[in-house]
Amino acid sequence: MARDGYAQTADGLRLYYRAVGSGGSIVLVPNGFHMLDAFEPLARARTIVFYDVRNRGLSDATTDDTQRARGIHHDVDDVDVMRVHLGADRVDLIGHSYVGVTVALYAMRFPAHTRRVVQIGPMAPGAPREYPPHLTNQDGTLAATFAAIRDLEKERAHLDPVAFCRKFWSLLGVIYVVNPADANRVVWSRCELPNERAGMKYWMGSILPSIQALAMTDDDVARATAPVLTIHGRQDRSSPYGAGRDWATLLPNARLLTIDNAGHVPWIEAPDKTLGAVDTFLDGDWPDGAEQRTADS
């Protein structure tokens, strides 16, 4: 049974959430409503809470710079708001894409309240990085998609905002999958919500700059003592496979699970392996195939 609600941040914004399941352990999935249908079966023995971060989905939007300027650091603070609101001492975390950075930062800042962390297709932290071809997927799809989006921009003035948003996402889906036939399974848009139609502007103006400005020290990283499972599709175009390798090397108690023939949404392209691994890990074990990495490997 799903329960919907709101939690209030320290600076007065409401975060909308949906809790699924009634198990004792709490799993937080920030910015994760696009994952709800696929991950809901994992709530058989735990409570999974999907929630909209500030300025997204059904959570409160703000134009106040004091509530936006810190970007991803606001989101890290808000993870702890959700933990306290739900009455949990320690939580598990699942973060997809750039939220993979959020959950890692939370593990560094709040180690006493972090039980286990799953990163799926995490974005690399800090300044933009160039990876060699075998650690990224440079097959021309990104260039073709961005060209199509530039053409769509020329139609913006003649389209209803909701229609424009839906066309935009219909074009973008192909970059996230290996098999183009799976692109229509990437249903993330929520274009009926004003926050989601404005999401790209917020991402570019606040979230991305804050991630690119990250400068984590050795002491910062050492505080992330919770086990971290980093799951990454080898053919990911959105967050290069090299980023997942970097996180699994950087964090002191992390392992990398590589999903071959998958891109940015491995739970769509390899559901049994991906969801089975998350289930096993949240139950307390490392899944088969999860590898420890060193800087030289």
Question: In sequence order, what are the beta bridge partners of 167?
Answer: none
Profile the chain (297 residues) by mean pLDDT over runs of 10 residues.
Answer: 90 97 94 96 95 98 94 98 97 98 98 98 91 91 95 94 94 95 91 95 95 95 98 96 96 98 97 98 98 82
* pLDDT score for 48: 98
Among 120, 121, 92, which residue's Cα sits nearest to residue 106?
Answer: 92
* pLDDT score for 146: 94
| Domain boundaries of the chain, sorted by first residue | 2-282
- Each residue of 74-111: b (16+ CB within 10 Å) or e? bbbbbbbbbbebbebeebbbbbbbbbbbbbbbbbbbbe
* pLDDT score for 1: 59
* pLDDT score for 216: 94
Distance, CA of 131 to CA of 134 (rounded, Å): 8
* pLDDT score for 292: 94
Distance, CA of 222 to CA of 264 (rounded, Å): 28
* pLDDT score for 188: 86
Write out the two tokens for 225: 């003592």
Task: Could you please state the CATH topology (level 3) that the domain comprising 2-282 is classified under.
Answer: Rossmann fold (3.40.50)
Q: Torsion angle of alpha carbons 179, 184, 189, 191, nearest 10°?
A: 150
- Each residue of 221-259: b (16+ CB within 10 Å) or e? eebbebbbbbbbbbbbbbbbbbbbbbbbbbbeebbbbbb
CA angle 213, 218, 222 (to 5 degrees): 115
* pLDDT score for 2: 72
Question: Is the entire prediction scored with pTM above 0.75?
Answer: yes
* pLDDT score for 189: 86
